[in-house]
């Protein structure tokens, strides 16, 4: 498992540093291929990073941003990761093309084919920023999820609907092959409990017990951005 570690004094410094790094990666991707793709997580930890990223100066009209995962709720819901993206990244001034992981008026199974078609246009991701829970889930790949084995397999479709006791609402998530194939991967976590969970995930074991292992054991390096 290849993990580069970067530790910061506080979460503000962490957010600014990751925003600068991601912006540099996106600019390099645009220079190399005229466009760039980015996947970002939801939840409370990425909020400061998304605000900082939105203030970075780059050719946002050439960037497509999607989410690593989403609750199957409309953007008007306070539980929506899409809403967080709007309130943080877009509100800070960035104007990328946004590829949501929710389709109003459709159930996930009917909407997934449309979502997958949109995703295939931007894969492989140039940059993927992931979070991780204390249960060692990443994206919405939760231990105990009903379709976790498929989501972690090499045969997984790009996006999958999953249910899990710890997940609350039905979730839609990018799957392991998509996450592993990203050209640049960053893991954004804060607090000693999550750091301890990560250390345990770095010990070899079943993917289903610690789904974050699907990227930690991937073909490319992962860079940890950690703050207490």
Q: What is the pLDDT of residue 102?
A: 93
Range from 49-58, 72-81, 132-141 carrying the lowest mean pLDDT: 72-81
Is 69 in contact with 42 (CB distance < 8 Å)? yes
For residues 17-33, average pLDDT: 98
- Inter-helix orientation angle 47-54/11-33, to 10°: 50
Does 144 score more than 80 pLDDT?
Answer: yes
Does 127 score more than 90 pLDDT?
Answer: yes
Q: What is the pLDDT of residue 124?
A: 97
Per DSSP, 34 falls in state S
pLDDT tens digits along 99-108:
999 988 877 7
Q: What is the pLDDT of residue 31?
A: 97
Does 1 score more than 70 pLDDT?
Answer: no
Q: What is the pLDDT of residue 56?
A: 98
Place 17 in a pLDDT band, splitting at 50, 70 and 90: very high
Place 167 in a pLDDT band, splitting at 50, 70 and 90: confident
Residue 202: CA atoms inside 13 Å, Cβ hemisphere, count?
13
Does 89 score more than 70 pLDDT?
Answer: yes
User: Can you give the pTM of this predicted structure?
Assistant: 0.97
**What percent of the chain is modeled with pLDDT above 70?**
100
153 token code pair? 């397999």
| Residue-averaged pLDDT of the chain | 95
Strands 184-190 and 63-67: unpaired
Per DSSP, 186 falls in state E
CA 214 – CA 176 distance, rounded (Å): 6
CA 82 – CA 100 distance, rounded (Å): 7
Query: Can you spell out the DSSP letters for 114-133?
Result: HHHHHHHTTPSPSEEEE---
With tokens 């993206």, the residue in question is 85
- Residues in CB range of 206: below 8 A, 6 or more apart: none
């Amino acid at each position: 498992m290849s993990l580069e570690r970067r530790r910061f004094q506080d979460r503000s410094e962490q957010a600014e540093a990751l925003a600068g790094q991601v912006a540099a990666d996106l600019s390099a991707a645009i220079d190399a291929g005229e466009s760039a793709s980015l996947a970002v997580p939801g939840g409370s930890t990425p909020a400061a990073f998304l605000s900082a990223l939105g203030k970075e100066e780059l050719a946002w009209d050439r960037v497509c941003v999607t989410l690593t995962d989403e609750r199957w709720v409309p953007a008007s819901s306070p539980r929506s990761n899409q809403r967080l993206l709007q309130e943080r990244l877009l509100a800070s001034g960035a104007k990328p093309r946004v590829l949501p992981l929710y389709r109003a008026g459709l159930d996930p199974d009917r909407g997934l084919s449309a979502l997958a078609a949109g995703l295939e246009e931007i894969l492989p991701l140039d940059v993927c920023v992931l979070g991780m829970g204390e249960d060692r889930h990443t994206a919405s790949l939760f231990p105990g999820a009903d379709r976790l084995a498929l989501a972690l397999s090499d045969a997984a479709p790009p996006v999958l609907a999953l249910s899990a006791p710890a997940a609350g609402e039905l979730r839609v998530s990018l799957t392991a092959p998509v996450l592993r194939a990203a050209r640049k991967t960053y893991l954004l976590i804060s607090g000693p409990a999550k750091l301890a969970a990560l250390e345990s995930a770095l010990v070899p074991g079943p993917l289903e017990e610690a789904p974050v292992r699907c990227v930690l054991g991937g073909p490319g390096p992962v860079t940890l951005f950690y703050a207490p």
